[in-house]
Amino acid sequence: SQQGEEDPQALSIQEGENATMNCSYKTSINNLQWYRQNSGRGLVHLILIRSNEREKHSGRLRVTLDTSKKSSSLLITASRAADTASYFCATDEAAGNKLTFGGGTRVLVKP
């Protein structure tokens, strides 16, 4: 079963709007990461947030982590057509040497 479950599964917005997606997980983690995947290609690492961090920024990306609720959110501000992609959260579990990916959120940014 997947550790991370993402919500929503799909999101359609206009260019310039913000996009927010959420990720929930089940077990204790060392860190949580967000990746982007353009259609049928490899994943690109966006940002990593450690379990002792609550918020992190990188350019137009803002990630929050609430370990008490076992959830994270990714906010993309001022979206662009080039942000159209699938976004995945991945948890680096405290027990185990692997990343576990969620089902992803498909984001469509309309020009």
Partner 1 sequence: KAGVTQTPRYLIKTRGQQVTLSCSPISGHRSVSWYQQTPGQGLQFLFEYFSETQRNKGNFPGRFSGRQFSNSRSEMNVSTLELGDSALYLCASSLYGTSGRGREQFFGPGTRLTVL
Residues contributing to the site for partner 1 (CB under 8 A) = 2, 30-31, 33, 35, 40-45, 48, 50, 88, 92-94, 96-104
How far is 53 from 98, CA to CA, in rounded Å? 20
Tell me how far, at minimum, the Cβ of 65 lies from partner 1, in Å.
14
Q: Which is nearer to partner 1, 15 or 56 (CB)?
A: 56
Tell me how far, at minimum, the Cβ of 40 lies from partner 1, in Å.
7
Q: Which is nearer to partner 1, 18 or 27 (CB)?
A: 27
Tell me how far, at minimum, the Cβ of 96 lies from partner 1, in Å.
6
CB 4 within 8 A of CB 24: yes
Q: Which is nearer to partner 1, 39 or 68 (CB)?
A: 39
How far is 62 from 102, CA to CA, in rounded Å? 18
Tell me how far, at minimum, the Cβ of 99 lies from partner 1, in Å.
6
Q: Which is nearer to partner 1, 15 or 31 (CB)?
A: 31
CB 109 within 8 A of CB 13: yes
Q: For 77, which DSSP code?
A: -
